[in-house]
Amino acid sequence: MEVKVTSSTILTSPISHPSDIPLTIFDRFATNIHIAVLYAFTPPTSNNADIISGLSNTLVHFPTLTGKLTTNSYARPSLTVGGPHGGALLVEATVSSKLEDHLPLPPSPDFRLLHPEVNDAKHLLQVQLNRFQCGGLVIGVTNHHRVADGQSMSTFFVAWGKMVRGVPVDSLPVYDQSWLKPRDPPLVQFDHWGTDFIPLSPQPNEFCVTPVYADPSEITNMLLHFSAEFIIKLKAQTNASSTVKYTTFQTLLGHLWRMVTIARQLDDEECTMVRVSVNGRPRLQPPVPMEFFGNLVLNAYPKAKARALIEGGAAMAAGIVREAVRDVGEDYFRSFIDLGEVYGNRDLVPCYDVDGNVISPKLEVDSWLGFQFDEVDFGGGGGLCAFLPINWVPLEGLLIFIPALSRNGGVDVFVSLLEKHAVRFREISHSLD
């Protein structure tokens, strides 16, 4: 793929006077990296000038995306918004090939050329508009996770598309953090040490993790499609032996958890665990608006021994996922907020930060099924034809669920495994036996 950058500019912050915003405990729990996504649109599309103008107008409502991560006078991580620093990077580029030659955008290291470099990125939001020979458009966007989670970014993308099309934006971001106010006195009623954050002063052998690394060439990424018909059959099989009606996510995750465990050939008694992202907005009371912009996500941790998981069937696996996610309720989120009040000035390190790039026997799972990424429309008459939640990642054990864009619906799942395990996984991923 030949990509030629034709221009690069900085869209300045819409706020003239700088101000410091302390990062919340949820921001500090978010992974400290840029997340890269790709949107592909068939021609005709809106021109670059209209898309850039729409972006500038949208950032007026999303100023934190133009900020800069800093440390305040109390040595606490914060976000500086406004002033001469920060801004958003906007790159324009052309691609010599036709868009259809690259569809449906399977994960590939080559696609790194379609968005600005994420290593040592100077801006929290980076956008690259890639014009293909046929007139097709791929918009590559990277944003820093400590400023916004997936729910927040879906709100941003939908608003940006409406701004370009001249449609009123009816879901503006909400920045009110009164929902995140700690209790008085704070009550840390759950043990978040060793689960969410590394213990501040671990006892000998209390928290021992040996990172496992593999050469990136040994890790493969794939995007698997599970049709609506397949999911109906899977749910019927799962629900047949249970009085509980499992959701699509619970059912499909339970199935894939078992298939990955088989492919990895784990020992019978080895404990396998899934880190599942849980959106706190609907769990806090009163519920936080979905338009809340920032981070408000914690993890659930379903666990099982390998043999029991495999032999227990799809219903058992879905049930373990369901119960673990239900346990991360309002009390857990309130306890986490109070943890931030008590230990907010300490150096807090999320447990996943000590992992290598091979997390087996664990899995890291994110569901984007409830987001609006598939509703993004930048106008012009063409349509969204492909969406890739991440172009390529040298991390074994990552799964991302996204709504499929195909006519028959269903779910696409991004999966990253060691190639030696991926061979077997591909063979059994759609097995209902």
Structure confidence by residue, pLDDT tens digits, 387-430: 999 889 999 999 999 999 877 789 999 999 999 999 999 999 99
Domain ranges of the chain: 3-178, 204-370+393-428
Per the model's pLDDT, the better-predicted residue between 94 and 200 turns out to be 94
Q: 3-178 and 204-370+393-428 share one CATH topology?
A: yes
Q: Which residue type sits at 418?
A: L
How far is it, in rounded angstroms, from Cα 261 to Cα 362?
9
Query: Does 202 sit behind a cis peptide bond, omega within 30 degrees of 0 on the bond before it?
Result: no
HSE-up of residue 46 (Cα within 13 Å, Cβ side): 21
- Pick from 415, 422, 425: nearest CA to 223: 415
Looking at residue 74, its pLDDT comes to 57
- Tokens representing 65? 């995306």
Per-residue pLDDT, 433: 73
Task: List, by residue number, the catalytic residues.
Answer: 145, 377
Of the candidates 20, 21, 27, 430, which has an alpha carbon nearest to the alpha carbon of residue 233? 430
Q: What is the mean pLDDT of residues 157-162?
A: 96
Q: Is the pLDDT of residue 301 over 70?
A: yes
pLDDT of residue 122: 92
Pick the CATH number of 3-178 from 3.30.559.10, 3.30.70.1400, 3.90.1150.10, 3.40.50.10190: 3.30.559.10
pLDDT in tens, 37-89: 999 999 999 999 999 999 999 999 999 999 999 876 555 789 999 987 789 99
Q: Encoding tokens for residue 274?
A: 């899934």
Name the CATH architecture for the domain at 204-370+393-428.
2-Layer Sandwich (3.30)
